[in-house]
Structure 1
């Protein structure tokens, strides 16, 4: 049985099930949900390593749950739980500037100066002085680089710099559990962004792990293709005359830029490399986090240069985790001894505390990985 037949027929049955579910024809809906589950299950058994396998596994689980709910309803004549017609699922979650707990701005982030400069040129200056840009400004920005190096953090800081509303998009929020509605979800996100921006508030649509939505699928089927086409159409629409002056920006973050579809890459006019921390930045990061520990603990002979030297290939997140692990180890030691209740802590943090943790952790970034990013940057980078 051909792969495309399994998925397309399964999608057809799933859509029919959803429509019947909405109309209250639950017995028929259950029949078609089960047919869709059967076809998607056969698809997974034949192609377990397919790039969309996790999506269809999740879909099957949710359809099975819906079948269970409907069957109980038909048995007991009780009201069914929320299903595809549930209005709350249609809402687009927006984090307005005054509602965000993370208030960090660029000055609060250690390093990434080249990235900050590129984002100032692409986003901050156009928002502050739109009259200086009669030809418009970039609407799409791609941040790429190794995991744990600050792509998400700097995107939030950017939103705080311009007091922007932040709409966080993920594969889960776009690929609806009710198959066939993904393109509608995309339209809702952009409609909401334009609505907010029309009132004068800048909007950042942030897509983390963007490769999960827009990688090159050799086995792409109808539903995914429609969703991707809708997204590309919406991004193109931001450049059209009626929307060209609206402060709406799409920022995508990825650890795997080489997996992105070329048509999607081209929609991002700015493609910015977010590098791992170099030696001086690693030293600054250790100082930043250890200074926070120094509020509680005394420090003894901390060699920041040596710490930076020992952590070649470690990401910013790795360094934060190292310092936190040192804190946890010492807190555990004090609690075991019964000394943790006293606010006057005598236990000093020593260099050996860090060396022990570092020796147990491997760097998350390899030279081979860095070379791959440099090659992609040479081919597609656009500051």
Structure 2
């Protein structure tokens, strides 16, 4: 690996860290200067290495720093500091770390039931076997159970809702992390914050005694193949491997599960695939599931007799659940648009959801 991209990324990271520190202390001018120097380093990195797969991450960081500069330049507007300027340096550091984590994760007890997940019976059964049953009766699993589960398959088929429903089924916490944002917001510090993330998840599981599901969406953007890597990517991946090994070695008392989701399982390196010992295919909806999806999404709409979910489902072979929702939403937009342009719309008594026909659903 060339040293130049590594140096540019390290330079951007140093300037950004100094900018955040000065920003928190209220030193606007110096903070702006350091944000600008971080932007210059990242812009040069993008320009010199246009094929670098982290360029999207760098572009997001550039945009974030530019927005912060604009906010700081509005001298007539009171800008809230990133941390309490009266706090000690150590307290400021901890506060920044907490803010970074909070901006990337969603900690909650989800209110999603299995009944709301239409179809996907094989995937549901696999998650019950791997997580739900061990969480409820660990004594029945003397050989242990998988701690790492990989959900893979076409986009828009319900991986996130499956993971959330699993957490709801075991009355556990659901920590939702976007891997792409992780790399973006933690530029230069990602490997440290991966450790903090797992430490937080373990702490929740140990202190509260409740199951915790750590869900990492688009995990391939974090753990993809290692060709042409620059900067901290390798360190992030090694840290992730270390954390996964730590979970698997904790014994069955720790109720912490890591679920990764990807549309591109082939892009994951073998060491990471090995840590996800249970791999679950999340398929496109079957005909029966498509019928149920159309019934769900057309239920709030007035339907003409000929607008039948069964007919629409046959036409939608190969469509994902997300695609079907988009189709129904588009039909709604079309008929409502016609209503707004209809003379009858002038009469308040005639206002109602207009009827949709099969031809309104562009499958």
| Bin of the TM-score, shorter chain as denominator length | 0.7 to 0.9
1:149 match: secondary structure: coil
- Indicate if the aligned counterparts of 1:176 and 1:185 stay in contact, CA closer than 8 A: no
For residues 238-263 of structure 1, the C-alpha deviation after alignment (integer angstroms, 9 at most, x for no partner) is 0113x542111111111111111221
Report the counterpart of residue 203 of structure 2 in structure 1.
Answer: 195
Matched, 1:263 2:271: yes
1:148 to 150, 156, 168: 156
Structure 1 gaps, min length 5: 359-383
Which residue of structure 2 lines up, in the alignment, with residue 350 of structure 1? Answer: 357
Tell me the SS of whatever aligns to 1:225. Answer: helix
- Supply the distance in 1 between the matched residues of 2:278 and 2:266 (Cα, whole angstroms): 16
Give 1:370's aligned residue: none
- Give TM-score scaled by structure 1 length: 0.78
Is 1:330 matched up with 2:340?
A: no
How far apart are 1:174 and its partner, in Å? Answer: 2.3
Equivalent residue runs for 1:6-17 within 5 Å: 6-17=4-15
Give 1:218's match in structure 2, choosing from 218, 227, 230: 227
Change (3 A) 1:94 1:56: closer
Q: What residue number does 1:302 align with? A: 307
1:321 aligns with 2:326: yes
User: 2:222 & 2:312 partners in 1: Cα distance?
Assistant: 38
Q: What whole-Å deviation, never above 9, does each CA across 1:2-45 have from its counterpart, x for those lacking one?
A: x7322221233234435645377998887776555444333322
CA distance 1:13–1:254, change in 2 (3 Å) = same
Alignment coverage as a number of residue pairs:
343
Alpha-carbon distance, 1:348 to partner: 3.5
Give the secondary-structure state (helix, strand or coil) at the position aligned to 1:206: strand
**Could you list the per-position Cα deviations for residues 29-64 of structure 1 after superposition, in whole angstroms to 9, with x for gaps in the alignment?**
877765554443333223213211111222334455
**CA distance in structure 2 between the partners assigned to 1:13 and 1:346 by the alignment:** 57
Listed one character per residue, the Cα deviations across residues 55-102 of structure 1 (whole Å, up to 9, x for unaligned) are 1222334455667778x69x99x99942895535244444322xx4xx
**Alpha-carbon distance between aligned partners in 1 of 2:336 and 2:67, rounded to the nearest angstrom:** 44
| Coordinate RMSD, CA, aligned | 3.1
Task: Determine the structure 1 residue equivalent to 2:89.
Answer: none
The residue matched to 2:253 in structure 1 has which SS?
coil
CA deviation vs aligned residue, 1:146-202 (integer Å, no higher than 9, x gap): 111111121111111112211111135422645321112111211111111112211
Q: Per the alignment, in what secondary structure is the counterpart of residue 169 of structure 1?
A: strand
TM-score of the superposition, structure 2-length normalised?
0.82
Structure-1 residue corresponding to 2:86: none
Q: 1:53 aligned to 2:61?
A: no
Q: For residue 235 of structure 1, give the secondary structure of its aligned residue in structure 2.
A: helix
Structure-2 separation of matches of 1:344 and 1:59: 47
Q: Is the 8 A contact 1:16 1:29 kept in 2?
A: no
Superposition map of 1:118-267 within 5 A: 118-175=126-183, 177=185, 179-198=187-206, 199-241=208-250, 244-267=252-275
Equivalence for 1:5: 3
Mind listing any 5+ residue stretches in structure 2 that lack a counterpart?
Answer: 84-91
